[in-house]
Every structure is written in C-alpha cells, then in structure tokens.
A and B are shown apart, each in its own frame.
Chain A
Amino acid sequence: DVKVTQSSRYLVKRTGEKVFLECVQDMDHENMFWYRQDPGLGLRLIYFSYDVKMKEKGDIPEGYSVSREKKERFSLILESASTNQTSMYLCASSFRQGANEQYFGPGTRLTVT
C-alpha cells in the first residue's frame, strides 16, 4: 500500500514563527504536492515538485516556500506564520506521467495564534 505520512497531525504556532511541515512517501513517486484545505473552499494547490530540487508554484504560493532534497521527502515552509495560514495542510504524491492518482497523507491541522 502507498503510504504518505506527515510529520504532525496537529500543530499550534505563534504569529511570526517559522514553520516546517514535513511529508514523506514510500512509493518512489516522482511528483509531490502541497495543498491547503479550508471550509467552503476545497483543496487549493500551494506548490508541487516533479523531481528532486525541482519546484513549481501552484495557485496560492504566497507566504510559502518548499524544499525537496530527497525524492521521498517534500517540505512546506511558512517563513513567518500568519493567522490567515491557519488551515488543514495536505500532502500528496503520484507517479510522474499522465493523470495518475494522487495519494494523500492524513493532513496537518495548523493553528496560528
């Protein structure tokens, strides 16, 4: 079974803190994605990566950065957390070619106070 794990299920941070969200997948997938999910808005793509050290902006990249130093690991970084970044963050991975199924992690519920 594909497994996508995220470092924390729940996280509480203060405004201005630097926040790291980690995601690891064990299926040798090339593609990895970070989404945020807010009530009434659905999932929105923040960043994605199709290879090690490669990254592409999604629909809402402002206030976020990412890092992919190893194929299995994709990190989302909030350089200076703000209250409007309180959300559920979901990581996903998939094989590169075609419109393949994305497998999601369990999510991290981040609260910024």
Chain B
Amino acid sequence: QKEVEQNSGPLSVPEGAIASLNCTYSDRGSQSFFWYRQYSGKSPELIMFIYSNGDKEDGRFTAQLNKASQYVSLLIRDSQPSDSATYLCAVGGGADGLTFGKGTHLIIQP
C-alpha cells in the first residue's frame, strides 16, 4: 500500500517569509513527484513536478527531492496572502494514478 505523509498543519507563516512544506512517501520505486495547491472547495492545481534528486525552481517555488530519504519538500519564497491554501503532495502517475497526501494547510499572515 503506497502511502504519502504530510503534516496537516495549519502552518502559519508571515507575509514575505519562506514557507517550507514537507512530504514523505513509502514506495521506494516511485519516480514522479508533484505538488498541488488546493483552495477550499476547488480542484487541485499543479504547481510543481520533479523527478530527479535535487532542486527544481519555478518562480517563487522550489521543489526538493531526496529519493534516498524518500522525502519531498516545497519552498515558497516571498509568501503572499494568496498563497494561503492546502498544499497536496502526490506521488506516482501512469496507469495507477497519483497517490496523494492529506495536504498541509498553509496560512500566510499579512
């Protein structure tokens, strides 16, 4: 049974600071890792995809992957109130779809 674990939060971060979100996964054979943002009552929105060890940057977002530790993280720089949402870590893909974590609720305090 594939598992993806996230701290549910809430994680409260002051505006302008760096938000750090973490995720661990159980299936050592996993190849693809995703971060989604979900606003309340809305569908998940893809913000980052990573498959190689190391860092991947896209604007204010940086995803970090450490396959040896089975650990994925997301950093959000210069956090804005509009970043307040639930961030979902997802692993896998292909025919058997994605395995999601429960998500971390992020609150950016103005």
Chain B associates with chain A: no
Residues of B within 8 A of A (CB): none
